[in-house]
Amino acid sequence: MPKQDTFGTVVNCIDGRAQIPASEWIRQNCGVDYVDTITTPGADRVLAEGYMERVARIETKVRLSVVRHSSPVVAVAGHYDCLANPCEREERFELIIACAERISSWRLGVRVVGLYVNEWGSVEVLTDSADNETVLRSYL
């Protein structure tokens, strides 16, 4: 019997520069083969501050991935030079952390991670429910 494929989940911007680093980080750090990717322009701001209807659409897709693909981790990613959500680094960090808190409030029973893809395409971990001491630790 072939090995069962495993999946993680990420809510990310449509920007291609943000998707590959975020997916690779999840694959390497969360022990999954594939990453289901839910995209919307400026996902960090939409999920942190968006209208309930838009947030609910994202939540529905996240739940599909978690339930049907048995994903053990939901990440949210923001990135440098975002066309849809231009803002300073500090504000973006706050948004990403707020997104992670919102995802946690859905009580999916999964690990929740907030990631920032910086100008060099490296991933910084802003918050990780699997590690209480990771809040705002940077891997630069």
Binding site residues, Zn ion, CB under 5 A: 13, 15, 82
Which C-beta is closer to Zn ion: that of 44 or that of 66?
Answer: 44
Min separation Cβ 80 and Zn ion, Å = 9
CA dihedral 35, 40, 43, 48 (to 10 degrees): -110
Which C-beta is closer to Zn ion: that of 13 or that of 96?
Answer: 13
Q: Read off the amino acid at residue 105.
A: S
Which C-beta is closer to Zn ion: that of 15 or that of 128?
Answer: 15
Min separation Cβ 10 and Zn ion, Å = 13
Min separation Cβ 96 and Zn ion, Å = 12
Min separation Cβ 13 and Zn ion, Å = 3
Which C-beta is closer to Zn ion: that of 15 or that of 59?
Answer: 15
75/100 Cα distance (integer angstroms) = 8
Tokens standing for residue 100: 């992670």
Tokens standing for residue 53: 């209807």
